[in-house]
Structures are given as C-alpha cells and as structure tokens.
Chain A
Amino acid sequence: GAVVSQHPSRVICKSGTSVKIECRSLDFQATTMFWYRQFPKQSLMLMATSNEGSKATYEQGVEKDKFLINHASLTLSTLTVTSAHPEDSSFYICSARDYWDSSYNEQFFGPGTRLTVL
C-alpha cells in the first residue's frame, strides 16, 4: 500500500516551453501533497505544499507563477513548470500524506521526474 506515482519519469523540453508533471496516490487519498526539487548531489528542497481544493502554499523563494500547482482531486496533484529554462533542469519529487493516517506525519514519496531543459 501507500504507493505514489509520477508521470513522466523523464522529460526533455526546449527552453521557453511548459512542462506538466503529475503526482498520483494510487491506493490512498491524499489531501496534502508536497513538491520537492533536488539538484545533483544535493538534498531535497521543499518547493510547495499542495492542498486539495485550495491554493498551494509556496516556500520562500519559489515563484508561484513559474511553478503552477493544481490539486484537483484527492489522488492527483500536478506541477507545471512554465516557460522552462535550463536552470530549471532538476529532479522533481512529490510526496503524499494519507488523509486517514491518524498520525498524519508520514509522507510517501514518488519516484521522481527528471526534467532537462535544452
């Protein structure tokens, strides 16, 4: 149980285009999902908290107009990188929290999406 998937696993795009990454909780409901970015040989940095049915909460320094987040259902959150540039190339990872988990602490991570902007 508690499986989180991401699609696509890898994407290459041209500079200036937009890319959408999907995060799905496959066997549980997630009112809260998180988006992280990870550069090579670095740690995971939280970008934003995605709440079902409401606006995402962005961490300081993350441009909300560049990284659009939509959490339209209890099992799906999407991250759209708008007008992507080479510096946006990174490993994007999502996680989800099980709504019915009484402790409500544990996050289940997806496999990540490798974005390369040419």
Chain B
Amino acid sequence: GESVGLHLPTLSVQEGDNSIINCAYSNSASDYFIWYKQESGKGPQFIIDIRSNMDKRQGQRVTVLLNKTVKHLSLQIAATQPGDSAVYFCAENTSGGGNKLTFGTGTQLKVEL
C-alpha cells in the first residue's frame, strides 16, 4: 500500500543551527499535510500544517515546504534549541480517503549543546 516515509531516522544538530527534516510521500491524492512533534511518553503535538494548494508555510521558527512534483515534504526549524529534541513525524491526509492520517516513520532530532 501507499505510505509516507522519511529519509533520515536520526538527525543530530548543534544548538543554534537550523534543522531540516525530510519526508517523502507516495499518495498523490493527499491534500493536507501535518508535522507533529512527539516527546517520549507523550502524544503527538501539532507543529505546522500545509494544504496541497500551497508550497510553503511559515510559523514561529518553523517552515514547511511542499513539493508536489516529487512528493516531498520538509520541516525546517530555525535556531534549534535543546527543547526541540524529540521525534518528528509527518502525516498526510486524503480527503477522499476517509480523512484518515497516515504517519511517516519518524525522525529523531537530537540537539547537541
């Protein structure tokens, strides 16, 4: 079946540097994408979302880029802080598929002091 996947399982960055987490999706019918942050033992926390009619969306210190041509999604975190250490998941939603979310495999972000 179709799935959402990530290129890197673990990403280590220095505090203050920018982080880029990538995600590849395979369902061209997906029309809504979300990035979640999950800390150990907790539920996913919404970070930022983007709809398929956009290619970029910015939040506070975070930016999501969507490239529908190559089915690629990325999350950029500016000035990464120790509190950003967590697992990050991308998820895709297909309105015609019952509005269910399909999660990617996740990337562990480690911020080094």
Which A residues form the contact surface with B (CB < 8 A)?
A: 4, 6, 32, 34, 42-46, 49, 57, 91, 93, 95, 97, 104-112, 114
Contact = CB atoms under 8 A, between A and B. Distances in A.
Contacts of A49: 98, 100
20 contacts: A34-B100, A42-B105, A43-B103, A43-B105, A44-B44, A44-B103, A45-B103, A46-B100, A93-B44, A97-B99, A105-B49, A105-B95, A105-B99, A106-B49, A108-B46, A109-B36, A109-B44, A111-B42, A112-B41, A112-B43
B89 interface: yes
A93 B103 contact: no
A1 B36 CA distance: 18
A97 B95 CA distance: 14
B42 A112 contact: yes
- Please report whether the interface of chain A is mostly helix, strand, loop or mixed according to DSSP: strand
Interface residues of B, number: 22
Given A43-B89, A43-B106, A44-B89, A107 B43 contact: no
Interface centre among A6, A91, A105 (most CB of B within 10 A): A105
